[in-house]
Copies of this chain bind each other. A is one copy, B any other.
Amino acid sequence: MARLRYKSFETHQAEIETKANLIQKRTSFRILRLAAVVALGFFSTHLVVANLASANEPLPETPPIPKDNPQTPQKIELGKQLYFDPRLSSTGTVSCNSCHNVMATGDDSVRTSAGVNGHRGDRNSPTVWNSAFWSVQFWDGRAPTLEEQAKGPLVNPIEMGLPNHNEAVKRVKAIAGYRTSFKRVFGGRDPITVDNIAKAIASYERTLITPDSAFDRYLKGEKTAISKDALEGYELAQNVGCFACHSGPHFAGPQLPTGTGFYMRFPTFSENDYVKTYELDKDLGRMKETKKEADKHMYRVPSWRNIAITAPYFHNGSVSKLDEAVRVMAKTQLNRDLKSSEVTKIVKFLESLTGQIPQQTMPQLPLMVGESLVN
């Protein structure tokens, strides 16, 4: 494994505070953020954005590792087995990998995912690639960590559909190979718990990093790694105002402590055809979770990393092409109508953010002898 280059949360937080002089408390931060969005919509934003951006960092080699869930090779391998195990779904047919396919885009490349019995939800599956860097998980940030995220789909009736977490524990306990692995990885008298299942899966997910995008190589000094168009697109994205939200090494906003989300309203400008055509204001966003009016249409700012390979776009997967997604974002978030040539260049830049997907061995799932777990 590469050496840990990631700064502590505290250092990061301190740096953000010093640099932008924005964050003193989360409340004042929220007010400022909203003010910034409004300002961005109406004024030239170059200077503000340049100050906020801090996008000129390559993707870190490793993500933050929580103190209570250190990485070990055995735990990662166990997590990989669990990640690929469809027996963790009610029907025995859906695994984490079904919707977050690590042989491809880290998601499922469809509008909304197919859970057990063909159920479809209303939100597009985010890619698992680099999700270990996000400070909150899900579109609405309702899980503070990968560990908490992993527990959600298991018991979501339209995803993996287990009746409760005890059922997950019961199933894992029924498989001899897992009993041995959990004992070895976690120790103790009763190591198979939903928390340990989630810890193992999260540990595996923390290995799912895609380094060495063309843009990263450009930042590291390989000046020919990206085209002139892509470079112009990078500058355009700044000038247009995209970096107000899509800043930082992940183009997902400032790096905040785990559990603290960087949220933005989408759509911000609703008086346009895109909102209607793509039903962008149908979903309540974070309000669905918090029930607070202030969270209406608020979403975690998604990363641009690998965005060119993770179509279709937005929380509802309603936009199938990247160029259209760029047009929609400029209009709905910045009230800008981009020229065709501008869209093309921004798309070229976004394409340069596709990283290298790591080569992996297939896990071998521990098998049952003489019977099956799900019938």
Find residues 58-116 in chain A having any chain B CB closer than 8 Å to their own CB.
84, 86-87, 91-93, 98, 101-105, 108-111, 113-114, 116
Question: What is the bound-complex CA distance between A370 and B109, given in angstroms?
Answer: 11
> Is A321 interfacial (CB-CB < 8 Å)?
yes
- Cα distance, A321 to B113, chains bound together (Å): 32
Distance in Å: Cβ of A82 to nearest Cβ of chain B: 12
* A28 adjacent to chain B (CB < 8 Å): no
C-alpha spacing A321/B372, complex, angstroms: 7
A41-49, A244-252, A354-362 - the one binding chain B: A354-362
Chain B residues near A368: list those with CB within 8 A. 109, 309, 311
Interface pair B109/A98, CB less than 8 Å apart: no
Q: How far is the CA of A308 from the CA of B176 in the complex (A)?
A: 14
Tell me whether A371 is interfacial, beta carbon within 8 Å. yes
How close is A345's CB to chain B, nearest CB, in angstroms? 13
Q: Is the CB of B367 within 8 A of A104?
A: yes
Known interface pairs A92-B110, A93-B98, A375-B110; A309-B367 also in contact (CB < 8 Å): yes
| A374 and B357 alpha carbons, distance in the complex (Å) | 21
Tally of contact residues, A, Cβ under 8 A = 51
Most buried by B among A86, A98, A359: A86
* B311 and A370 form a contact (CB under 8 A): yes
A324: min CB distance to chain B, Å: 9
A118 to B362, CA, bound (A): 26
Contacts of A104 in B (CB 8 A): 364-365, 367
Are B370 and A322 neighbours in the complex by a CB distance under 8 Å?
Answer: yes
A117 located at the interface, meaning its Cβ lies under 8 Å from any Cβ of chain B in the complex: yes
Task: Report Cα–Cα, A294/B87, bound state, in Å.
Answer: 39
Q: Tell whether A371 pairs with B322 under 8 Å between CB atoms, given A103-B363, A118-B116.
A: yes
Q: Across the interface, which residues of B come within 8 angstroms of A110, CB to CB? A: 91-93, 372, 374-375
Q: State the CA gap A321–B116 with chains docked (Å).
A: 24
Chain B: minimal CB distance from A187 (Å): 26
A329 to chain B, nearest CB (A): 14
With the chains together, A321 CA to B119 CA distance in Å?
A: 29
Q: Enumerate chain B residues within 8 angstroms of A205, measured Cβ to Cβ.
A: none
Is B320 touching A372 in the complex (CB atoms < 8 A)?
Answer: yes
Q: How far is the CB of A109 from chain B (nearest CB, A)?
A: 4
Q: How far is the CA of A128 from the CA of B99 in the complex (A)?
A: 23
A residues neighboring B (CB under 8 Å): 84, 86-87, 91-93, 98, 101-105, 108-111, 113-114, 116-119, 308-309, 311-312, 317, 320-323, 347, 351, 354, 357, 359-365, 367-375
Q: List 11 A-B contacts (CB under 8 A).
A: A86-B101, A91-B114, A92-B110, A102-B362, A104-B365, A104-B367, A116-B118, A312-B372, A312-B375, A323-B370, A361-B361
12 further A-B contacts with Cβ under 8 Å, apart from A104-B364, A354-B369, are: A87-B109, A91-B110, A92-B108, A92-B110, A93-B114, A101-B365, A103-B363, A321-B371, A322-B369, A322-B370, A351-B370, A359-B364
